[in-house]
């Protein structure tokens, strides 16, 4: 039995299982696995399928090539998109939404932000409404901005950084990041197999489902982004999951764990905390919360 309480219907992400099974059965290069995810549907969730708040059609759009030498720097919407831009090869990156915000997409731009983005290249997630308002207010050309798509999985990191690198001509720098990402992917896939995550039933906050699916967990129920009603909490609790995975930035699963007091509830993150300097730090943090690695 599987329940899903979301704004949109959930579509199964078969690619995640294929990726994990392939990694566990042979020793192919992890880079090939990431590119396989790119060629078979652009990762594990796309706009209109899973409803991930970080998903948009931005990764599929064609952007004008812009050399970073032609701009004053890159201005990202949040600390997350700043890490994406850095991994893609940008050396001068700043961001707008304060890092202490629990849910950065809710940021509302300030008049002072208009001067920050002048003559800069903008990077943001299609989900972030404040960036569209900022671009309109600043009369910023679409040629000086790129929207990207993230679902918290390694393939989405690879695709987003590659898109930006192709725009900026920084493919060499992005390739270095991708090599490091592939090494971590190998570690995570092997650990997921060793911990037999496929046998663990999970009730997941919807925005954390793609990563869990990619790792191979069995998702028996989902919740969010709307607040759960008492009847929905009861229905999810009856599924008797082995683990409840919530969203650090918009936690909604406390009620389920109050009913299932013996079930562990953890919170995964999409955005870095102040001591994180790489996308890999986010992945490692989430893997630690899941008990797959120790830091």
Please, what are the domains in the chain? 58-186 (3.40.50.1980)
Condensed to tens digits (0 to 9), the pLDDT of residues 145-157 reads 999 999 999 999 9
Could you report the per-residue pLDDT of 275-288, keeping only the tens digit for each?
A: 999 999 999 999 99
pLDDT (tens digit, 9 = 90+) per residue, 94-123?
Answer: 999 998 888 898 899 999 999 999 999 999
* Proportion of the chain above pLDDT 90, given as a percent: 74
- Residues of 189-198 as b/e, b for ≥16 C-beta within 10 angstroms? bebbbebebe
Q: Which two tokens stand for residue 101?
A: 């915000």
Q: What does the CA dihedral 232, 238, 244, 245 come to, rounded to 10 degrees?
A: -40
pLDDT over 50 at 32, yes or no: no
Give CA separation, 8 vs 4, 156, 198, in Å. Answer: 9, 20, 25
CA 261/CA 268 separation, integer angstroms: 19
Q: What pLDDT, on the 0 to 100 scale, is given for residue 23?
A: 43
What is the number of helices (H) and of strands (E) in the chain?
11, 9
With vertex at residue 18, the alpha carbon angle to CA 12 and CA 20, rounded to the nearest 5 degrees, is 110
In this structure, what token pair is assigned to residue 226? 């709307």
CA dihedral (36, 39, 41, 42) positive or negative: positive
Mean pLDDT score across all residues of the chain: 85
Residue 52: per-residue pLDDT: 57
2 C-beta neighbours (distance < 10 Å), count: 12
pLDDT at 92: 94
Average pLDDT over residues 45-49: 32
């Amino acid at each position: 039995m599987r329940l899903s309480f979301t704004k949109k219907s959930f579509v199964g992400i078969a690619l995640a299982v294929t990726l994990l099974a392939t990694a566990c059965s042979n020793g192919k290069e992890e880079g090939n696995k990431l590119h396989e995810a790119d060629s078979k549907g652009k990762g594990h969730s796309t706009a209109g399928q899973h409803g991930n708040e970080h998903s948009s059609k931005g990764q599929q759009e064609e952007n004008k090539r812009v050399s970073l030498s032609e701009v004053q720097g890159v201005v990202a919407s949040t600390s997350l998109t700043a890490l994406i831009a850095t991994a893609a090869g940008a050396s001068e990156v700043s961001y707008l939404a304060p890092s202490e915000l629990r849910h950065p997409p809710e940021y509302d731009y300030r008049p002072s932000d208009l001067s920050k983005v002048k003559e800069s290249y903008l990077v943001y997630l299609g989900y972030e409404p404040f960036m569209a308002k900022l671009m309109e207010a600043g009369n910023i050309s679409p040629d000086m901005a790129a929207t990207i798509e993230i679902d918290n999985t390694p393939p989405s990191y690879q695709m987003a950084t590659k898109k930006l690198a192709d725009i900026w001509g920084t493919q060499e720098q992005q390739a270095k990041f991708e090599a490091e990402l592939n090494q971590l992917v190998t570690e995570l896939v092997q650990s997921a197999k060793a911990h037999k995550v496929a046998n663990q039933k999970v009730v997941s906050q919807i925005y954390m489902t793609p990563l869990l699916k990619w790792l191979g967990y069995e998702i028996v129920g989902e919740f969010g982004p709307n607040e759960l009603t008492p009847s929905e909490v009861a229905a999810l609790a009856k599924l008797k999951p082995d683990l409840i995975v919530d969203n650090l930035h918009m936690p909604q699963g406390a009620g389920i764990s109050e009913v299932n007091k013996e079930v562990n509830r953890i919170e995964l993150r999409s955005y870095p905390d102040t001591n994180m300097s790489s996308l890999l730090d986010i992945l490692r943090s989430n893997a630690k919360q899941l008990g797959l690695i120790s830091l």
